[in-house]
Copies of this chain bind each other. A is one copy, B any other.
């Protein structure tokens, strides 16, 4: 069985690895689709990000779907052949945070394809893997590609749940990558009345328009448009900051109404923020990190037709072309979500 292994920046290899038998409560999954995430790209381009660095080779990948190929003991809800979305989040369920229902803060989290903590948690880009049945959500009526979108969609649903009241609200999204555009879908599904998206790249903004943004603004070519829009139309109620760029956050804060909510999803490093404006407007800046119970919700909302992620899957490459897929994903002028087709 083969896997996609990062050795160091720009050294990504397809290698042989071994596959365990499924134990009690586990299933073996033949991978179907895997999406390349921004953090995968960080490992590929830079060998890590911030304090998180590769120390030894690691299998990448955490946005995956597949078909159940074998069942361990005591698995009753799944059958061989089922298409499932596989959650990469594996909390311990016992620590204080798990027991508070905040599994994304698990003290013993093992999240697929993460170089922190060390030893690395191996990822899911392999032809087959053994997972706990509780990580698997049946994805009937979805394509393998859609099922693999459950993970990034969960990130955006989690942020949306944390953002609170959305019905009839005016929403600004800074950063039109996969997370920003999925936030468009999430905000729309909860009744946002108006959605504006900013980015530096026109083609990225086209995807936002295609999934329902009412207005997109290229802040590189039209730097005063956001302020002009806000003056004409009024302040925003909610900001999803998906770029991790301090200037985006600062311009967003300037466009917010008093008591507005700023969801920070973008994982930049330190950021210089206009604290006087934040304080005087009594903004509420909330970090949002991964997800937990939103994973099943993501699959369900796609199944119900409430959220349609298909327009965001811009490219699909074969397993053999995985490295090409990473290069493609790097090109924001072309790609939104690039997925690897495993079989």
Q: What is A's interface to B at a CB cutoff of 8 Å?
A: 50, 93-94, 97-105, 157, 160-162, 164-168, 186, 189-191, 193-194, 244, 258-259, 264-276, 278-289, 293-294, 297, 300-301, 304, 306
Verify A191–B193 contact, CB threshold 8 A. Answer: no
Given contacts A105-B258, A267-B275, A281-B287, 9 further A-B contacts (CB under 8 A): A101-B101, A161-B165, A167-B186, A190-B190, A264-B275, A270-B273, A270-B276, A272-B272, A282-B287
Q: Contacts A105-B259, A273-B273: A167 and B160 contacting too (C-beta < 8 A)? A: yes
- How long is the Cα–Cα vector from A166 to B168 in the complex, in angstroms? 14
Verify B278–A274 contact, CB threshold 8 A. Answer: no
Point out the residue from B102, B105, B166, B279 that lies within 8 Å of A264, measured CB to CB: B279
What are 13 A-B interface contacts by the 8 Å CB criterion? A50-B276, A101-B102, A105-B281, A167-B186, A167-B190, A190-B190, A264-B279, A265-B279, A268-B276, A269-B276, A283-B286, A284-B285, A285-B286
Verify B191–A190 contact, CB threshold 8 A. Answer: yes
Kindly list chain B residues whose C-beta atoms are within 8 Å of the C-beta of A105: 258-259, 281-282
Q: Contacts A167-B160, A275-B271: A191 and B306 contacting too (C-beta < 8 A)? A: yes
- How long is the Cα–Cα vector from A199 to B306 in the complex, in angstroms? 26
Kindly list chain B residues whose C-beta atoms are within 8 Å of the C-beta of A162: 282
Kindly list chain B residues whose C-beta atoms are within 8 Å of the C-beta of A287: 275, 278-284
- How long is the Cα–Cα vector from A266 to B244 in the complex, in angstroms? 25
Nearest 9 A/B pairs, CB to CB:
A101-B101, A168-B297, A279-B287, A105-B258, A100-B101, A271-B275, A285-B285, A282-B287, A189-B191
- How long is the Cα–Cα vector from A193 to B298 in the complex, in angstroms? 10
Verify B300–A279 contact, CB threshold 8 A. Answer: no
- How long is the Cα–Cα vector from A167 to B162 in the complex, in angstroms? 11
Q: Contacts A191-B191, A300-B168, A306-B191: A267 and B286 contacting too (C-beta < 8 A)? A: no
CB A315 to nearest CB in B, in angstroms, measures 28
- How long is the Cα–Cα vector from A195 to B168 in the complex, in angstroms? 20
- How long is the Cα–Cα vector from A340 to B278 in the complex, in angstroms? 32
Chain B residue at minimal CB-CB distance from A186: B167
Kindly list chain B residues whose C-beta atoms are within 8 Å of the C-beta of A258: 97, 102, 105
Q: Contacts A104-B282, A271-B273, A276-B268: A161 and B157 contacting too (C-beta < 8 A)? A: no
Kindly list chain B residues whose C-beta atoms are within 8 Å of the C-beta of A160: 167
Point out the residue from B102, B265, B269 that lies within 8 Å of A259, measured CB to CB: B102
- How long is the Cα–Cα vector from A301 to B194 in the complex, in angstroms? 10
Kindly list chain B residues whose C-beta atoms are within 8 Å of the C-beta of A164: 165
